[in-house]
Amino acid sequence: MILTYHRVLERPDPLLPSEPDAERFTAQMEVLATLCAVLPLPEAARRLQEGTLPAAAVCITFDDGYRNNLDVAAPVLRRYSLPATVFVVQSAIESGIMWNDLLIEAMRQATAAMDLSMVGLGSVALPPLADRAPLVTKLLEAFKYRSLQQRWDDARELYQRVAAAPPPRLMLNECELHCLVRAGIDVGGHTVNHPILATLTEDEARGEIADGADWLERATGRRPTSFAYPNGRPGRDFHAAHMRIAREAKFKLAVSTEWSCATRESNPFALPRVSFCDSPASRLAWQVTRSYLASWYRLR
Ligand SMILES: [Zn+2]
């Protein structure tokens, strides 16, 4: 079973209610360390094919390359000796923030009202910060399937309208990427710009996947072997051609966001994942067990 995380927050954030804070993440990792066999993703993918996975095998992955993966999550992983993979977006490392976080930071800084007519929402009276999360979700959905350039242009415009200071750096920088590698964390590819690959031509998709891998190899000194498709829904966000391109770029495995346990029948270039990142630790053991049982019944 491959678990997906994005951020691990220092403290709870009302605009990111589904992201775990350090306390919740620590309790979750304690459950996994106690009850599961947590393996590095490349090793688990190989042993899945060989049929040598131990019982209750689990992998931990983080998408996008947030700085708090190093500052907050890595010390917890080290405490419990748990391996993990962080999938990194090249442009996010270079710019310090992703378009979706720029929107979230705009919503954080806005005061009474916000003109969201660019996404058809009109002028919106803003509730207090603690109640803005549903509006953030609506805004992100309205942006998601626009072209890359338009997402960035509109997110920048919204941010600049409400904020006086430059946006904060939320992503790892190259130096911190090295720290992650030195901490023994597997760093995987997640494209150059985090596009929905299915919306690109095959040449553009090849550039996103292969150029991102080449950049990562230069930045870390290691060829990445794990890849995650942006947004990751098989048949909608990526297709067979993208699986072939990932293989040609020398990745050994790729993960999707299809909600399921990986089994021996899974394609190594479309390994499904699950996410329980907002679950209290007291429910995590049951959720992991239930997912295993569901996949076992499916196979019978
Ligand atoms: Zn992502």
What are the pLDDT digits (tens) for 164-201? 889 999 999 999 999 999 999 999 999 999 999 999 99
Amino acid 299: pLDDT: 56
Residue 113 shares a structural domain with residue 245: no
Q: Tell me which amino acid residue 139 is.
A: L
Residue 37 shares a structural domain with residue 151: no
Long-range contacts of the stretch 161-169 (C-beta < 8 A, 24+): 161/106, 161/114, 161/115, 162/106, 162/109, 162/110, 162/111, 162/114, 163/105, 163/106, 163/109, 167/96, 167/97, 167/101, 167/102, 167/105, 168/96, 168/97, 168/105, 169/67, 169/96, 169/97
Residue 274 shares a structural domain with residue 133: no
Amino acid 119: pLDDT: 77
Residue 12 shares a structural domain with residue 53: yes
Domain boundary among the residues 135, 162, 189 is at 162
Cα–Cα nearest to 246, from 266, 272, 223, 228: 228
Rounded to two decimals, the pTM is 0.93
Q: How far is the CA of 87 from the centre of ligand 1 (A)?
A: 8
Q: How far is the CA of 98 from the centre of ligand 1 (A)?
A: 10
Q: How far is the CA of 105 from the centre of ligand 1 (A)?
A: 18
**Cβ(88)–Cβ(187) under 8 Å?**
yes
Domain that holds residue 176: 2-95+171-299
Q: How far is the CA of 64 from the centre of ligand 1 (A)?
A: 5
Residue 112 shares a structural domain with residue 75: no
Q: How far is the CA of 169 from the centre of ligand 1 (A)?
A: 17
Q: How far is the CA of 221 from the centre of ligand 1 (A)?
A: 22
**Cβ(225)–Cβ(121) under 8 Å?**
no
Residue 184 shares a structural domain with residue 273: yes
Q: How far is the CA of 272 from the centre of ligand 1 (A)?
A: 14
**Count: domains in the chain:** 2
Q: What is the pLDDT along the chain (300 residues), one digit of tens a residue?
A: 999 999 999 999 999 999 999 999 999 999 999 999 999 999 999 999 999 999 899 999 999 999 999 999 999 999 999 999 999 999 999 999 999 999 999 999 988 788 888 777 788 888 888 899 998 898 888 887 788 888 889 899 999 988 888 999 999 999 999 999 999 999 999 999 999 999 999 999 999 999 999 999 999 999 999 999 999 999 999 999 999 999 999 999 999 999 999 998 999 999 999 999 888 888 988 888 888 888 777 655
Strands 113-115 and 123-125, by their bridges, are antiparallel
Amino acid 11: pLDDT: 95
Interatomic CA distance for residues 292 and 271, integer angstroms: 15
Q: Tell me which amino acid residue 292 is.
A: Y
Residue 219 shares a structural domain with residue 78: yes
Q: How far is the CA of 191 from the centre of ligand 1 (A)?
A: 9
Domain boundary among the residues 162, 186, 201 is at 162
For ligand 1, an ion, list residues with CB under 5 A. 63-64
Q: How far is the CA of 265 from the centre of ligand 1 (A)?
A: 25
List, in order, residues 6 or more apart from 236 with CB less than 8 Å away: 198
CATH number of the domain residue 225 falls in = 3.20.20.370
Residue 139 shares a structural domain with residue 244: no
Q: How far is the CA of 297 from the centre of ligand 1 (A)?
A: 30
Q: How far is the CA of 290 from the centre of ligand 1 (A)?
A: 26
Amino acid 121: pLDDT: 79
Amino acid 122: pLDDT: 83
